[in-house]
Amino acid sequence: MLKKQERIVTLLILFISVISFFSFGFYHLGKFETTDEHLWKYDRIPQYWKALKEKNWEETYINDKPGVTVALISGAGLLVEPDPKANQYLPAKNATEGKLFEHYNYQQSEITNFRFRLPILIFSSLSLLAFFYLILKAFDSHRVALLSTILIATNPILLGISQIINPDSFFWIFGGLSVAAYLAYLNTQKRKFLILCGLITGFALLSKYTAFMLFFFFILSALGKIIFQKEDLALKTNWQTLARYFLGIGFIFVISNIIFSIFLPATFVKPEYLFKGISQFLNLKIILVGIGLFLGFFALITWKKNIIGQITQQLSKQKKYLVLLPLALLSVLILISLLNVWTGQIISPVNELRDLAYINEPKEFNFKPLMDKKNGSILNNPQLYLMEAYPFIFSISPFLIVLIFFSTILVLKGKISQKSYTVLFSLSIFILFYFFSTLLAKIVTNARYSIILYPLIAIMGGIIIRESLNLFKLKTFKHFIITVAVIFILSIISLWQNKPFYFSYTSFLLPQEYTIHDSWGHGAYETAQYLNFLPQANDLVIWSNSDTVCRFFKGNCLKNRKIDLSVIQPDYFVISKRGALKDKNHFVLENNPNPQKDAQSYFENLETNYVWQIIINNRSDNYIKVIKF
């Protein structure tokens, strides 16, 4: 039980963490535009609430993510701006201009962004309190709860995604909270946490179908709870014990799907919307394997009495190595990734592979000419596994990487308490499996696609710090507060250095010439401001490979990438890294009186031939450039 003074200090630090998260997020909140956000604020969010109002249930299916939580929370913006789409454009002066240009209501863009992002930021900030509570119940430790919450609150990737109108802005919250709720259930054995886990998992599913992967974590954690106990207790494990845990997971499944269906009424019209998510992870082959395993298990327990207890006891005797193996594999993955980028990517050309995947779209998972599917099994290629893990590893704090290495050594030397085994076991396996699953799904990951992993590794970090303090006999509250203060101050400095582009955070462990992010809207506002302050900006004509710049630009944005110079002559081209990568997204100059200076020449000389540029977080490969025609 905490002393009153210690409790006050703990809650004060928690409050400061929440306020810091909100304050950093509030800065620059409306002054950027990411890809696809316009689809949410102008179409999908209003569609959801209109469908509910009109009881047009099928229309509540607004996206294939399905992203309903975006409409539920960000939809609060509709209270002050009921028809955001009506404010999106400025009227064209005449029919000719209407065909050539897009005129966005550049002054309104920032206001609309702010109105629909603020509810997300507020919700994200308040969720930190829920993280603290559930982690506290999961580990019976105010220290682990506070450390984990601080690591979440000062994570620049989580802060950055909390400024964006996107399903991932809620997936990390509900996914992370469902993990904490299930761990709280395992620790307390109280049914209320099982129910709470089911409710939260339902909202995680409403955010992204990917949340079905959480059930794999629940299974891992339940197995860990059974295995990582004293050997004499492990021997008492029977089929009723297993049934209790697996029925609990089934209970979560039922509740989560009820919540999913209630808030996505389209499910009652077309049940395939629910099965669509399930089918991503449960196909006929997996179901048949599951039935086979169940029958085999049933035959085993009927063949020999107490066989479950004996197996569990044998596993319990090897508990140290069962935890060590996934932690060591995770450490090896990180170490190889570090060596790879420090040696010019000679092990795996991860940067080039990611760029090729984008260039070759819409062909999925295509890495020609660097890698050809015909030359071997692409799914078994370790180079691609490194590519999948690459964005996550270099978008987490180096401090967390050190903690993972250190925890592996602690487990190897038997210097870590067994009560931490379950969570280290389940989280490390889940992280490794997550990248394997994206490889199987043929998805090239980025920080956004890995968003669920950031709160999980923060929880791991909180546990490892607690174990480290105990190891070095730094157990007093004074030692704890000093540790918290150092971590918090260093993390705040990192946030300050990366503002306002939090979501483009990259670890200093990655050499400066590489980047794990493209300019996913970051820098567009600053680019538009540069153009807006040029003489006669209202009359300027630009072409941009992304309309994110155009939404803040007061001049004329060309609609078509095919530019007929006999009709219109642009003043500037605005090009980001992504715009430069893919040839089919390049502008084309028609009726060009100067063939020597065709479109390709602009891209070939992009490195030096620009009048202005913005480099995001000092990563030279993450840029937006303005080129004069």
Q: What is the pLDDT of residues 238-255, one digit of tens each?
A: 778 888 999 999 999 999
Please tell me what DSSP assigns to residue 374: G
- Using an 8 Å Cβ cutoff, are 56 and 193 in contact? no
Q: Which long-range contacts (CB under 8 A, 24 or more apart) does 307-310 make?
A: 308/237, 308/238, 308/239, 308/241, 308/242, 309/234, 309/235, 309/236, 309/237, 309/238, 310/235
What confidence tier does 373 reach under pLDDT thresholds 50, 70, 90?
low
Mean pLDDT of 305-330: 87
Roughly what angle, to the nearest 10 degrees, separates helices 168-188 and 214-227? Answer: 20
Query: What confidence tens digit (pLDDT) does each residue in 558-602 have?
Result: 989 999 898 999 999 999 988 888 888 899 999 988 888 888 888
Alpha helices in 264-283 (DSSP H): 266-269, 272-279
* Alpha-carbon gap, residue 126 to 105, rounded angstroms: 32
Residue-level pLDDT at 379:
46
Judge residue 343's burial from the number of C-beta atoms within 10 Å of its C-beta, 0-12 exposed, 13-18 middle, 19 or more buried.
Answer: exposed
Roughly what angle, to the nearest 10 degrees, separates helices 307-317 and 284-303? Answer: 110
The rounded percent of the chain whose pLDDT value lies above 70 is 93
Q: Which two tokens stand for residue 277?
A: 């998510």
Query: What confidence tens digit (pLDDT) does each residue in 85-114 have?
Result: 998 888 877 877 778 888 899 999 999 999
Please tell me what DSSP assigns to residue 591: S
Q: Count other Cβ atoms within 10 Å, centred on residue 46.
A: 21
pTM for this prediction: 0.94
Asked if pLDDT for residue 556 goes beyond 60, the answer is yes
- Using an 8 Å Cβ cutoff, are 206 and 63 in contact? no
- Using an 8 Å Cβ cutoff, are 479 and 143 in contact? no
| Every domain of the chain and the residues it spans | 318-451, 524-628
Please tell me what DSSP assigns to residue 189: -
Residue for token digits 């602690």?
Answer: 410
36 φψ region: left (φ > 0), alpha (ψ -120 to 50), beta (else): left
* Alpha-carbon gap, residue 448 to 168, rounded angstroms: 7
Please tell me what DSSP assigns to residue 79: G
Query: What confidence tens digit (pLDDT) does each residue in 449-465 have?
Result: 999 999 999 999 999 99
Q: Which two tokens stand for residue 44?
A: 């999908």
Q: In what order do the strands lie in the sheet with 541-544?
A: 101-102, 556-558, 541-544, 572-576, 623-628, 612-615
Mean pLDDT of 283-292: 67
Task: Tell me the helices (H) and strands (E) count for the chain, helix number first.
Answer: 28, 8
